[in-house]
Amino acid sequence: MHEGLKKRVFNCIVESEDRWTLPTLLHHLSQIDPAPKTEIKNAIRQLVNAGALTWVYEHGCSFIERSFAGPVPLSKRVIIKPPHIRYDPRTDEIVVKLHPGASFGNGRHPTTRLAVRGLDDLLSENSTACAGKMKDILDIGSGSGVLLITALHLGVEKGIGIDTDPCARAETLKNIHANGFSGRGEAADGGLSSFRQPFSLVTANLRLPSLLKLSQKIASLIEDEGFAVLSGIKTEEVEDLKIAYRKNGFMPVWERSEKGWAAVVLQKLRFEKRGPKT
């Protein structure tokens, strides 16, 4: 099998904004690639057999998607993988170990990938945000714990992941242990009312109504010049989110989108730098 064809098929699936069934993918590739459909089918089959692609059945349709059963890059530096899978990272790579589980946050959904990219950019060595090391993170709706654990790998000193689902809390704790952060990370019940101290960083991968409802509370839980990494929003919802958080003293500093979803990084301005609420 021609390796170039397999690479083109793989890149088409990974980089496209669309989700592909076999007929739609074959039709699309046949329009842009000279290879016969039989060869394209063989390339897909080999990529599935090799574990690079997988079939996902949803809403009565079978989609071909990237497989997350092995090591997968989520951002420039962050790789996720199951603990039992061997992977030798480059010197600049961060490896986040995630046990297979039921909780959201295994990297398959664009909102998780976007939030991880936001963290990676925010906490990079070249980022002005890291002039003073971030001391702590609160991850709201932690799911698997992937955002909390990624932040700890990227240099945040300690953190808490909260979730209303006891299964998610158990999986967050299990993944914290798998990554060697038992002394730096913890999982707690999902109530925000028990938190009073401000954090350097808050992450939340939630849908827009929840992010809007929590905007004032999130603002109260972030110290001046601290950051919020927010995901779970559709691209057409970004402006509504930014307007709501500007009213609570935030300035957007980063934004990305993928497959119709978006994430933003916001910085909380010092009180004296805030303009009038609009």
pLDDT tens per residue across span 19-41: 899 999 988 888 887 888 899 89
List the beta bridge partners of residue 252: 266
Specify the pLDDT at position 130: 64
For residue 131, pLDDT over 80 is answered with no
| Predicted structure pTM score | 0.84
For residue 1, pLDDT over 60 is answered with no
Residues in contact with 268: Cβ distance below 8 Å, sequence separation at least 6, in sequence order: 219, 222, 223, 224, 225, 226, 227, 228, 249, 250
Do 115 and 189 belong together in one domain?
yes
Cβ atoms of residues 36 and 74 within 8 Å: no
Mean of all residue pLDDT scores within the chain: 90
How far apart CA 53 and CA 108 sit, in angstroms, is: 12
How far apart CA 236 and CA 243 sit, in angstroms, is: 13
Reported as a single tens digit per residue, the pLDDT across 133-184 is: 789 999 999 999 999 999 999 999 999 999 999 999 999 999 999 999 999 9
CATH number (domain holding residue 61): 1.10.10.10
CATH number (domain holding residue 115): 3.40.50.150
Specify the pLDDT at position 272: 53
Q: Which two tokens stand for residue 185?
A: 């990370």
Single out the residue in 66, 86, 110 at which a domain terminates: 66
Do 19 and 137 belong together in one domain?
no
Residues in contact with 190: Cβ distance below 8 Å, sequence separation at least 6, in sequence order: 140, 141, 162, 163, 164, 165
Do 155 and 243 belong together in one domain?
yes
Count how many domains the chain has.
2
Considering the domain boundaries, does residue 201 fall inside one? yes
How far apart CA 54 and CA 133 sit, in angstroms, is: 39
Considering the domain boundaries, does residue 216 fall inside one? yes
Do 143 and 212 belong together in one domain?
yes
Q: Which two tokens stand for residue 200?
A: 């350097």
Do 58 and 152 belong together in one domain?
no
Reported as a single tens digit per residue, the pLDDT across 32-80 is: 878 888 998 999 999 999 888 999 888 898 999 888 888 889 999 999 9
- Domain of 108 in residue numbering reads as 94-273
Do 108 and 227 belong together in one domain?
yes
Specify the pLDDT at position 128: 66
Do 61 and 140 belong together in one domain?
no
How many secondary structure helices (H) and strands (E) does the chain include? 9, 12
Nearest-10 crossing angle of helices 166-178, 146-153: 30
How far apart CA 44 and CA 63 sit, in angstroms, is: 12
How far apart CA 23 and CA 267 sit, in angstroms, is: 45
List the beta bridge partners of residue 62: 57
Specify the pLDDT at position 129: 65
